[in-house]
Structure 1
Amino acid sequence: MPDGEHVSALAQSPEGAKAAYVLAHGAGAGMRHAFMAAAADALAARGIASLRYQFPYMERGSKRPDTPALAQATVRAAVARAGELFEGLPLFAGGKSFGGRMTSQAQAKEPLAGVNGLVFLGFPLHPADKPSSTRAEHLHNVAVPMLFVQGTRDKLAHWPLMQALMVDLRERATLIQIDEADHAFHVPARSGRTDAQVLDGMMDQAAAWMLR
């Protein structure tokens, strides 16, 4: 980390783990948020180890996200640590919203050591209700496979734009469609599913992709 800065992290490794995922949090909640904990637990049940970690601003209790340079340096440090903790396991990186985007920016700038692919849990394609694809331009510089887990009601990722992005990225990108889910992967009662059921389905598919 730059200037000797340190952040907290949580490692979770089930017995017989077959892969590992470096899981970064979103802009508004840290690594201990209920969604992050549930995702890590669900992945562990499917044989995927994980390393959750804080970005420096969250560690300090600030609400203002770090600069991209600092956030990307944090991603790089977390991936290096995961490589040590989970030596020998196929390694993936990404995360929720902001964390996934910072991971992809780091990967686009200089490949993350040992990372086989990126997994995004709600990629923030644009600010809420302001459809645009400018935040995705750097993804064309990512050479490793990418998995996008996206809700069709996500206000930070207009669905037609997500579909168009998949066409642009071609064979490097896979899209998992979560019907009626918003950016937090919440679904309305009319869907007939609970949020827990949605998470289970998401993690089934994400784990299968990582273990393919």
Structure 2
Amino acid sequence: MIPSTQQINFQVGDHGTVSGLVQSPPDPFACYVFAHGAGAGMGHSFMGAVSEGLAARGIATLRYQFPSMELGKKRPDPPPVAHAAVRAAVAQAVQRFGALPLFAGGKSFGGRMTSQAQALDPLPGVKGLVFVGFPLHPAGTPSTVRAEHLAEVRVPMLFVQGTRDELADLASIRNVVSKLGASATLMEIAEADHAFHVLRRSGRSDEEVLAEILDGMTAWMRG
């Protein structure tokens, strides 16, 4: 099964045009709208590996640039601009994969901006959110303030979190997910950090960790 990849461009309200990549197997069973983190765009190797791995498992992806990343700026967009980008990307996915179950989320910042957008006004067609390393707090300062809006999200959520993630203290993210109840699922990736790297002493490779992540995401979306 060879996935096809298509480069697209779309408008984000009054914030300009951004680029995206649509990657799909011949007969996908779902689509994931996949936003990048604050420090690297949609072309980052991790974003590509996740998209390729999901395509191999039957899931199409639409990854895209936030406007600031498209312009090469170092500072991420303010939330209203990021939310507009999320909505525009979801609209593109609906246009291309409207008959499929649609999920949205992203890596770190991209996941948090997606959840904020969903909490403010449900994203049309989106049946669930998948966070690949939800950034719960700045490094070294555990807090759950960034999770308060999640109580307003009315679709199922999957949190894929490394147990050594410096941006999501394990006890804190467990507490957040527990309080969200049955709508939220926590998938803990043992010994992984925020970038999902593992130490050699863990006895596992980054490739094995990625396969665990992809298998878990796929099973959850099928469920």
TM-score (norm 1): 0.99
Quote the residue 1:98 is aligned against.
Answer: 109
Quote the residue 2:58 is aligned against.
Answer: 47
Quote the residue 2:196 is aligned against.
Answer: 185
Pick from 121, 135, 138 the counterpart of residue 127 of structure 1.
138
SS in structure 1 of the partner of residue 32 of structure 2: strand
Quote the residue 2:73 is aligned against.
Answer: 62
CA RMSD of aligned residues (A): 0.7
Higher strand share: 2
Quote the residue 2:164 is aligned against.
Answer: 153
Q: How far did residue 2 of structure 1 move?
A: 2.2
Q: How far did residue 4 of structure 1 move?
A: 5.8
Quote the residue 1:117 is aligned against.
Answer: 128
| Distance of 2:197 and 2:153 partners within structure 1 | 29
Quote the residue 2:173 is aligned against.
Answer: 162
Contact 2:15 2:67 in 1 (8 A): no
Pick from 206, 210, 213 the counterpart of residue 199 of structure 1.
210
Q: How far did residue 15 of structure 1 move?
A: 1.2
Matched, 1:12 2:12: no
Identical-pair percentage = 63
| Distance of 2:37 and 2:191 partners within structure 1 | 20
| Distance of 1:126 and 1:93 partners within structure 2 | 21
| Distance of 1:111 and 1:42 partners within structure 2 | 28
Matched, 1:143 2:147: no
Which deviations, in whole Å up to 9, do the C-alpha atoms of 1:153-174 show, x marking residues without a partner? 0000000001111111000100
| Distance of 1:89 and 1:11 partners within structure 2 | 14
Pick from 71, 82, 100 the counterpart of residue 71 of structure 1.
82
Unaligned runs of 5+ in 2: 1-11
| Distance of 2:177 and 2:183 partners within structure 1 | 9
Q: How far did residue 143 of structure 1 move?
A: 0.5
Quote the residue 2:4 is aligned against.
Answer: none
Amino acid corresponding to residue 144 of structure 1 in structure 2: V
SS in structure 2 of the partner of residue 2 of structure 1: coil
| Distance of 1:208 and 1:78 partners within structure 2 | 24
Q: How far did residue 196 of structure 1 move?
A: 1.0
Q: How far did residue 128 of structure 1 move?
A: 0.8
TM-score (norm 2): 0.94
Contact 2:15 2:81 in 1 (8 A): no
More relative contact order, 1 or 2 (CA 8 Å, 6+ apart): 1
SS in structure 2 of the partner of residue 29 of structure 1: coil
Which deviations, in whole Å up to 9, do the C-alpha atoms of 1:59-106 show, x marking residues without a partner? 000110001000000000000000111120100000000000000000
Pick from 21, 33, 38 the counterpart of residue 27 of structure 1.
38
Unaligned runs of 5+ in 1: none
